[in-house]
Structure 1
Amino acid sequence: MAKHGKKFASALAKVDREKQYTLDEAIELCKSLSFATFAESMDVAVNLGVNPKHADQIVRGSVGLPHGTGKVVRVLVFAKGEKEKEAADAGADYVGGDELATKIQGGWLDFDKTVATPDMMGVVGKLGRVLGPRGMMPNPKLGTVTFDVAKAVKDLKSGMIEYRTDKAGIIHAPVGKVAFEVDKLRENVLALLEALVKAKPAAAKGTYVKAITLTSTMGPGIRIDVQSVLQSL
């Protein structure tokens, strides 16, 4: 069994493992327990009552966080002609076509998100084995395969995040930096939860949101009172 360090053990001792905290309590506690020497992120894990083994119960989508994640997002856009200029003007870090695909096939991955116009998917499709496993493949359901590249770039730059249930039916998502103010973190968490509730599959039965846990990059998980949060949506 892995052993935790003294700082983690000290932080864990301050968390009541039997208690379900209100969202504000959890955020404040999470902030107070931060001990890393770098700028920690704050993340949420939401256990959903779905079975991802069935395609009609996979919860996947994207949501714009009101206050972003605090991370600089490098966006690459596959486009040509006027759309190439449009993407560049919107703030895309890299814009191009075949030459970018060749670089990526050669191992270059110095970007975080990928956008493509529909007419470029013939080029992008060849990169599925590289981008797919990393969650960087453009997808029309996530708004990253579109002719409105300016909007896609701005959304990603301003705090648009993607979410998807893992094999256990859990959504893991960043909701900001520990250094963010409580109000901003609360609004980001609620924006994510509202999106998840709206994305509830018709095939999902029983309790949909089963558990919510808040944690910093290095800190312990803090359980949140699900009902109190859902009532505030």
Structure 2
Amino acid sequence: MAKHSKRYSELLKSYDKNNVYSLEEAVKLVKNLSTAKFDETIELSIKTGIDPKKNEQQIRNTISLPNGTGKKVKVLVFAVGPEAEEAKEAGADYVGGEELAEKIAKEGFLDFDVAIASPDTMRFVGKLGRILGPRGLMPSPKSGTVTKDIKDAVVSFKAGRVEVRNDKTGNLHLPVGKKSFSDEKLNENVSSALQQIAALRPQGVKGRFIQKAVIAPTMGPGVKIDFSGFEN
């Protein structure tokens, strides 16, 4: 078991970590637990009832947060010709074709948060699976990152669209804002995220889909949320 810092241990003493709080209470509490000297990201973690070993129960999709994540998202786009120009006009940070794929493969270039690809570039982008896959950066039609509508994808991810993807244990982790957000904005983001994630329930899941929901700051402990008001 990892040894916590003195600051973290003191924070744990300041509230009942086993209690389940209303969303409004949880947001106020988690902001009080954000005591680092930078604007901490607030992350939502969800324990789901999926069987991560079954392909048909895998979750990989995107949701849009009404108030964004508070983070400047670096978007890389694999596109050529008119679609490349479209990507640049939409505000993509990096745009290119095979030369950009080579930069990733040969130089280990990974200074981006989202990779989007036009369908015609997947013939060479597909070869980057071993590099981008483990980092959650591989473009996929399921997550809306392999698309002909490059402009919409770039604008959406820049504005606060985030990927929802289960880990090996079937859990989900995603940013829902910053400590500097108002309580109202954080409430809206978390509520919207829970509603959209509930709608992603795979058909084969038995019992409850969302089993536990926790919000936590980057450097602090988590607070359990009462999610009983959300479709499950």
Please give the range of the TM-score, normalised by the shorter of the 2 chains.
over 0.9
Which residue in the other structure is 1:80 paired with?
Answer: 80
Which residue in the other structure is 1:122 paired with?
Answer: 123
| Aligned 1:1-233 pairs, distance under 5 A | 1-106=1-106, 107-228=108-229, 230=230
Runs of at least 5 residues in structure 1 that lack an aligned partner in the other structure? none
- 1:29 match: secondary structure: helix
| Maintained 8 Å contact 1:42/1:217 | yes
TM-score w.r.t. structure 2 length?
Answer: 0.95
CA–CA distance in 2 between the matches of 1:164 and 1:92? 23
Cα distance, 1:163 vs. partner?
1.1
| Maintained 8 Å contact 2:17/2:222 | no
Paired AA for residue 37 in structure 1: K
Runs of at least 5 residues in structure 2 that lack an aligned partner in the other structure? none
Paired AA for residue 57 in structure 1: Q
- The change in CA–CA distance for 1:226 and 1:79 in structure 2 (over 3 A counts) is same
Paired AA for residue 114 in structure 1: A
Paired AA for residue 156 in structure 1: F
CA–CA distance in 1 between the matches of 2:36 and 2:117? 37
Paired AA for residue 70 in structure 2: G
CA–CA distance in 2 between the matches of 1:101 and 1:31? 40
- 2:137 match: secondary structure: coil
- 2:16 match: secondary structure: coil
Cα distance, 1:221 vs. partner?
1.1
TM-score w.r.t. structure 1 length?
Answer: 0.95
Paired AA for residue 223 in structure 1: K
- 1:43 match: secondary structure: strand
- 2:228 match: secondary structure: helix
Cα distance, 1:32 vs. partner?
1.0
Cα distance, 1:80 vs. partner?
1.1
Cα distance, 1:150 vs. partner?
0.3
CA–CA distance in 2 between the matches of 1:125 and 1:2? 38
Paired AA for residue 78 in structure 2: F
Q: Residue by residue, what CA displacement relative to the aligned partner does 1:99-148 show, whole Å, maximum 9, x if unpaired?
A: 11111112111212111111111121111111111111111111111111
CA–CA distance in 1 between the matches of 2:59 and 2:112? 25
Cα distance, 1:3 vs. partner?
2.3
| Maintained 8 Å contact 1:15/1:222 | no
CA–CA distance in 2 between the matches of 1:18 and 1:64? 30
- 1:166 match: secondary structure: coil
Cα distance, 1:167 vs. partner?
2.2
| Maintained 8 Å contact 1:86/1:149 | yes
Q: Residue by residue, what CA displacement relative to the aligned partner does 1:152-184 show, whole Å, maximum 9, x if unpaired?
A: 000110111111122222111110111111111
